Amino acid sequence: MADDARNPAPYTEADLSLIKRIIPHRYPFLFIDKVRDIVPFESAVGIKMVTSNEPHFQGHFPNQPVMPGVTIIEAMAQTAAVVVGISMNVVDEEMLTYFMGIDKCKFRRMVVPGDVLELHCRAIRGGGKIWKFEGTAMVDGQVCATAEYTAMMARKDG
């Protein structure tokens, strides 16, 4: 982790290239395409362009593709991990992110191919290894899912 953990990296948005420098996720388990409106230690909005080419749609469901709820929550968590990475200035430091808990999770609207999924996340607690966020997934201004989640970031080597 950076020497001065309260001196965040100077990013207000992250394209796919920067996301991959912060979190270890890769296809087929990378569920965000961009993160915007990053406010270190506070919040951000992740963007997921939902396409019919994603592998989970082959089985969920073949004749009526619906993005699985767990992948929506994972996309929220990946957005939050980018906020943590920027906040703690750990770009290019090979960090891993581990879920520790998911609370108050609700699903309200299906997410389907063609949707632009916005993942609004806000830090409830954080600043060290363990962070807690609240997230809201939205499409066209409609709430699709909400959750609170706790995760830990740690160095890949221990």
Among 5-9, 15-19, 69-73, 150-154, which stretch is predicted with the lowest mean pLDDT? 5-9
Mean pLDDT of 11-27: 96
Q: Please check whether residue 40 is in contact with residue 89, taking contact to mean a CB–CB distance below 8 angstroms.
A: no
105 in a domain, yes or no? yes
Percent of the chain with pLDDT over 90: 84
Q: What 3-state DSSP class applies to 143?
A: strand
CATH number of the domain that residue 150 is part of: 3.10.129.10
Q: Based on the structure, what is the number of domains in the chain? A: 1
Helix (H) or strand (E) holding 84: helix 69-87
Give the active site residues: 60
Distance of alpha carbon 135 from alpha carbon 147, whole angstroms: 5
CB crowding 137-153: b at 16 or more within 10 Å, else e: bbbeeeebbbbebbbeb
Tokens of 100: 């520790």
5 in a domain, yes or no? no
3 in a domain, yes or no? no
pLDDT in tens, 122-140: 999 998 889 999 999 999 9
68 in a domain, yes or no? yes
10 in a domain, yes or no? no
Domain of residue 38 covers 16-155
Q: What is the pTM of this model?
A: 0.94
What phi-psi label fits residue 94: left (phi over 0), alpha (psi between -120 and 50 degrees) or beta? Answer: left
